[in-house]
Structure 1
């Protein structure tokens, strides 16, 4: 029955990267059995190790007790076989932001899952409607755009495709709330709410730095103190990954025009391999601590 949260017992996550592992962690912490799948054993193991580290940090901070952390970890199983997700009631895709790859995943899941199972995507920019067209169940496809880092950030963006049913939309809100998140809803238009507004903000911060308006430290400090955000645009770009920010800007530029044209310095940094925290160098330099 559509919209019945009680019918959701097993959650599948396709993709064991930063977002996928984070989604698997919060789902398991909320009491769901989770299958987390990626294409290589090493990627799955990296995702499980990331979950172990995240849970340990939450225990150290007192946000989660040891018993809850241990129970959550025991609920997560890693796999390289998509077939292992066949008994999942709700599957969330969190693979790379490439439409053809995501559509292949959705088509395979559509063939694999029971007819009453739901599909969601964690995409931050791509069309839910186009992704849903790769399935025979577009009314059961919805966007669930988690924020990074998933175990820490409180929000989830629910994105409604052209054929997403009202019951599926309600279920997506209910599931996200059951994962201890707050939600907001967006129509299936480029960038949705968050990236439609966030990417120009990051872009303009990069341009201001490149044009010598202020130092990177003062740009970020000015935005933190002047607008009460936790991170300035350059800090945030490093945090999410400059390659991720560039890809989002390029996608929105293609859809919405020159107001989203990626800043030159952002493209140059990515071309140099300086992607932010994950490579140790972005606009700032980072060490292990």
Structure 2
């Protein structure tokens, strides 16, 4: 067993989705393919508005005949209510499952206590695993060095992986902007789901001009929500930060134009450079600033 690190993510909650129609119901609601979910794995997915904006981001894990959803704690009740609204006559039950808490594990393999459900983070292998711990278990039982949420988020930020509510506002960002297309959050071959037409159109027409990308500050970055500017003109918004590292939602075309003219990008008063995530299949205009 490698020397793993584990952090309890106290800002996450777990919902249970059970019933004869649970898989079919999730398949018709979410951006990813629930039909491919098998026990022991999970998917990264979103629930969208009819206009194609992300209302919730989540992980869905299969367990025997039901599903467990790992979602932001402050969105859990709202997600349950939204799913209930769409349930209609489906044989599905949705309820918060207080018997589970969520941990992130990286740099090694944990020991799973009885009743725990572990799965590889479906977004990116470098993020490691997520573990749904039964209420009676503690993070120390995973056999890892204890880390905290800030350590997990620092790793996530460094890798360039966004999180809803921290790096984009729910109800305001399209899946492409939040990198769902880059981080296994959307299946373009599956059938219909809420908001699917908009997402499909953005994919086929290449319409994603805004993307969340890693940024490096010349010094510690300011608060989340600070505008990113080029010569005083706003081209984006800073999301989550860890010291001088952060993520920002950027209009890449405007950043490219500004950098080509020799402009300096800033988050507040702090000069920043944009970084290319290793997983990204789109180009981030960073070289002009260091040229």
Same fold? TM cut 0.5 = no
Higher fraction of helix: 1
Whose relative contact order is higher, 1 or 2, with alpha carbons under 8 Å and at least 6 apart?
Answer: 2
Higher fraction of strand: 2
TM-score by length of 2: 0.29
TM-score by length of 1: 0.29
